[in-house]
Amino acid sequence: MNTRALNIFFAIAAIVAMSHLANEWVRMEHPGGLVWKAAGIVLLGLFALLKRSWIAGLGLLFCALGDVLLELVFVYGMAAFAVGHLFYIAAFVEWGRVLGLNKRDFPVAVLVVIVSIGLLVWLFPGMGDLTGPAIAYQLIITTMVCMAFIVKAPVLARLGAVLFMLSDTLIAAGRFANVDVPPGSVWITYAGAQILIAWGMSHIAPYRARKKRQAAAAEA
């Protein structure tokens, strides 16, 4: 698939992903609603795979699985998203291996940890039976966002990581702190995060190839 076709495919995937915002008002019944919810993220994952961003692509597909499972068994959905974030962490590690560390933004990673701890203290009293899974998930997504700033990753992918944490915070605030979250805010931040991550992470192949050429030249 050529570059133009891939870009069109990405645009379609992004539109499908964001279109599920309308379900805040349409309230499509299952299984149609579940298919609609996951479809855009699946397409974004396929886009990343077509761009040879294998790790990020798998992360997106696990997040799509999480979208479905959240509606069926919440804790299973959390687990699927946690796996997705582990793939994102690995994808950021690959960017670090190819382009190196981003020492300038280490303080941002520290700030992310501080904010995460503050959120955990705030939300902890309402976690109840989900305390263990929620803390584990918080640790994983915090690590993912920190990794986005520790390595030289694309700016859009970093912004996507931050938006993902914001989206999850909105979900947690509604579930654990009884906060009235604005309608549509969770999906806007979540879909936006996945779109940015898919686009930002999908451009590693040329850098990967250049790294291999440099290594081969050094050995020659």
CA distance 51 to 6: 8
- DSSP one-letter string for 165-198: HHHHHHHHHHHHS---PPTTHHHHHHHHHHHHHH
Mean pLDDT for 200-210 is 84
Indicate the pTM of the whole model: 0.93
- According to the model, what pLDDT value does residue 204 have? 86
CB 134 within 8 A of CB 172: yes
In this prediction, residue 195 carries a pLDDT of 98
Query: What's the confidence (pLDDT) of residue 220?
Result: 62
The model's pLDDT over 3-42, given as tens digits with 9 standing for 90+, comes to 899 999 999 999 999 999 999 888 898 899 999 999 999 9
Q: What is the pLDDT of residue 205?
A: 78
Q: Which residues pair with 123 in a beta bridge?
A: none
* C-alpha torsion sign, points 24, 28, 29, 31: negative
Q: What is the mean pLDDT of the chain?
A: 94
Predicted local confidence at residue 39, as pLDDT: 97
Q: Is the pLDDT of residue 67 over 70?
A: yes
Determine the pLDDT at residue 3. Answer: 87
Instruction: Give the pLDDT confidence of 105-149 residue by residue, as tens digits.
Output: 999 999 999 999 999 999 999 999 999 999 999 999 999 999 999
pLDDT at 209 over 80: no
With CA atoms as reference, report the closest residue to 154 among 214, 113, 195: 195
Taking 80 as the threshold, does the pLDDT of residue 2 lie above it? Answer: yes
